[in-house]
């Protein structure tokens, strides 16, 4: 089968299209024939070596497809079932073996592309808004990169939970996209310093929570945008990883909370994974949650997909086929 692999860490040029054997499922696993593949920043982190793995590695943490074979000891799925999954690396390929409990059946009304675009970013938005900081009516959230795939979903889920949303983005065109997702206030960070603008929009109080996937370039301003005892949620490194900080800084800025969560620890059990995945897929199938798939690339063009994603010029989900 064909697979995109990394033999040495580096830029997009290190991605190679290799021919490797089709894997076989062991006990408690399933073999999925891949139909559509989600492209995410975590794939770039593995490609560059920011996230550690021993090469050669097959990239990709998210896909949809058809169950081809089921390993011993798992009876809830059969060959032919349509499924989506995330959290197991190796989806940039024609086939992938995954733990069977991670395979979520796709609603009949949902196509493979939508399912592949939904889970990693959708479940990330779900745990951020439902668990890391459980948004409720009366809360105000600051969402960075709100026109991106995850940002759009965070905005929508925050509004579903009754929160006020202040969103940041880079252009008027992206601002219009964010407005359509339901954001209450939009800050163009290319034209305004978001930190004083957030304070102005909250009458000097600050927000209850910041959802920050940008990383180094927004971290300090995000801390300064919080109310006393607010929560800083840093969950991505689009502008580079956040440098080390002294814990004393959190007390000086108002007894702040700081967390660096990952999807893996918020979907650590089959029950929690199914809760989040079922919510996300059903909301999309019912029209309560809107996805935007910006572009679909052939598998062999994975490097271009990485270039486009890292350039922060996209306003929706990128897929490989």
Let me know: does 124 contact 90? Beta carbons within 8 Å: no
Mean pLDDT value of segment 204-213: 97
How does pLDDT run across 130-185, given as a tens digit for each residue? 999 999 999 999 999 999 889 999 999 999 999 999 999 989 999 999 999 999 99
Residue 241 has pLDDT above 90, yes or no: no
Q: Encoding tokens for residue 318?
A: 């990128």
Q: What is the pLDDT of residue 204?
A: 97
46-73 pLDDT per residue, tens: 999 999 999 999 999 999 999 999 999 8
Domain ranges for the chain:
2-120+267-320, 136-259
SS (HEC) of 108-137 = CCCCHHHHHHHHHHHHHHHHHHHHHCCCCC
**Average pLDDT estimate for 270-288:** 96
Region 309-313 average pLDDT: 80
Instruction: Report the top-level CATH class of 2-120+267-320.
Output: alpha beta
DSSP characters over 206-217: -EEEEEE-S-TT
Stated pTM of the model: 0.90
CB 61 within 8 A of CB 43: yes
C-alpha 153/C-alpha 177 separation (Å) is 12
Give CA–CA dist 309/148, Å, rounded.
10
Q: What is the pLDDT of residues 110-127, one digit of tens each?
A: 999 999 999 999 999 999
| Tens of pLDDT, residues 33-44 | 999 999 998 999
Q: What are phi and psi of 46, to 5 degrees?
A: -70, -40
What pLDDT is recorded for position 263? 94
- pLDDT value at position 110? 96
CATH number assigned to the domain covering 136-259: 3.40.50.720
Q: What pLDDT does residue 238 have?
A: 79
Is the pLDDT assigned to residue 314 strictly greater than 80?
no
Burial 177-187, CB ≥16 within 10 A → b, else e:
bbbebbbbbbb
Buried (b) or exposed (e) across 252-285, using 16+ Cβ within 10 A? ebeebebeebebeebbeeeeebebbbebbbebbb
SS3 291: coil
Q: Considering the chain, what is the average pLDDT of its residues?
A: 95
């Amino acid at each position: 089968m064909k697979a995109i692999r990394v033999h040495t860490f580096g830029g997009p040029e290190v991605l190679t299209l290799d021919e490797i054997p089709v894997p076989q499922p062991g006990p408690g696993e399933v073999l999925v024939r891949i139909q559509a593949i989600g492209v995410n920043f975590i794939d770039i982190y593995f490609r560059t070596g920011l996230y550690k793995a021993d090469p050669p590695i097959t990239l990709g943490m998210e896909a949809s497809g058809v169950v081809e074979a089921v390993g011993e000891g798992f009876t809830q799925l059969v060959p032919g079932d349509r499924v989506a999954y995330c959290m197991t690396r190796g989806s940039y390929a024609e086939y992938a073996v995954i733990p069977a409990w991670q395979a979520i059946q796709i609603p009949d009304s949902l196509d493979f592309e939508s399912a592949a675009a939904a889970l990693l970013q959708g479940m990330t938005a779900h745990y951020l808004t439902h668990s890391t900081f459980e948004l409720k009516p009366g809360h105000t959230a600051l969402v960075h990169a709100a026109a991106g795939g995850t940002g759009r979903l965070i905005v929508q889920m925050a509004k579903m939970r009754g929160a006020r949303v202040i969103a940041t983005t880079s252009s008027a065109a992206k601002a219009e996209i964010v407005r359509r997702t339901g954001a209450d206030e939009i800050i163009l960070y290319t034209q305004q310093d978001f930190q004083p603008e957030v304070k102005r929009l909250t009458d000097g109080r600050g927000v209850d929570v910041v959802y920050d996937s940008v990383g180094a370039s927004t971290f300090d301003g995000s801390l300064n945008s919080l109310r006393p005892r607010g929560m800083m949620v840093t969950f991505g490194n689009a502008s580079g990883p956040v440098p080390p900080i002294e814990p004393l800084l959190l007390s000086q800025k108002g007894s702040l909370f700081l967390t660096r969560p990952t999807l893996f620890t918020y979907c650590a059990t089959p029950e929690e994974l199914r809760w989040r995945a079922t919510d996300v897929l059903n909301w999309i199938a019912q029209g309560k949650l809107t996805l935007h798939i910006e572009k679909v690339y052939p598998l062999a063009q994975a490097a271009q997909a990485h270039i486009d994603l890292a350039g922060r010029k996209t306003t929706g989900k990128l897929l490989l086929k």
